[in-house]
Amino acid sequence: MKHTNHLQFHVSLINAVAFAALIFPGCSESKPIDVDLYPVVGTVLLDGQPAVGATLKFIPVDSDTGTADSSKPKYRRAPAATVDANGRFQASFDGIGDGAPLGTYKVVVFMLQTPEGGGFPTDRFGGKYLDESKPVAMITVTEGDNDCGVIELKST
C-alpha cells in the first residue's frame, strides 16, 4: 500500500512539473516584449456548462508570428487565458487580458484538479486537449478584435 502511494506521488509530481514547463516557459522575462497586441476573447464550455478554471494556451504556428513590422523583435512566449465563471476568456500576453500578437495559433486546453485526499493537481482531461497535433481550435489573430467563438469540450 505504501508503494502505491509513493508511486502516485511521483506520477503526480511529474504531471505538475510537465504542466509548469508548458505554462511558464517565458516567466523569466521581466519586461514587456515590444509587440502589438490585439484582443482575443471566446467561450469554453465543458459538457455544455462553463469550463470554469480551464487554461488555454495559444501556440504559435509560425516562428514569424507576432509582428508585421520587421524592426520589432520576434518572441518565444505564448499567450494564455483562464476561463471565468461565465465560460469566457481573454488572451493574456504581458498582462491579464491584454491580448495576443498577430499570427496563427493552435489552441490547447487543460484543467488542473486536485485529487481526492490531496496531492499534486492533475489535468482533468488526462492530456486529451493538450495535443498540439489535435488542437481544440485554430485562431488567426488579426488587427482589431478577435472572437474565437465557442469551444466545446467533452469530459469523456
* CA separation for the pair 133, 102 (Å, rounded): 21
Query: Measured on CA atoms in the order 132, 109, 66, 24, is the torsion positive or negative?
Result: negative
With b meaning 16 or more CB within 10 Å and e meaning fewer, what string describes 100-109? bbbbebbbbb
Cβ proximity of 78 and 60 under 8 Å = yes
* CA separation for the pair 93, 79 (Å, rounded): 5
pTM beyond 0.75: the answer is: no
CATH number of 2-153: 2.60.40.10
For 25-83, the pLDDT digits (tens) are: 544 454 567 889 999 999 999 999 999 999 999 999 976 555 445 555 556 689 999 99
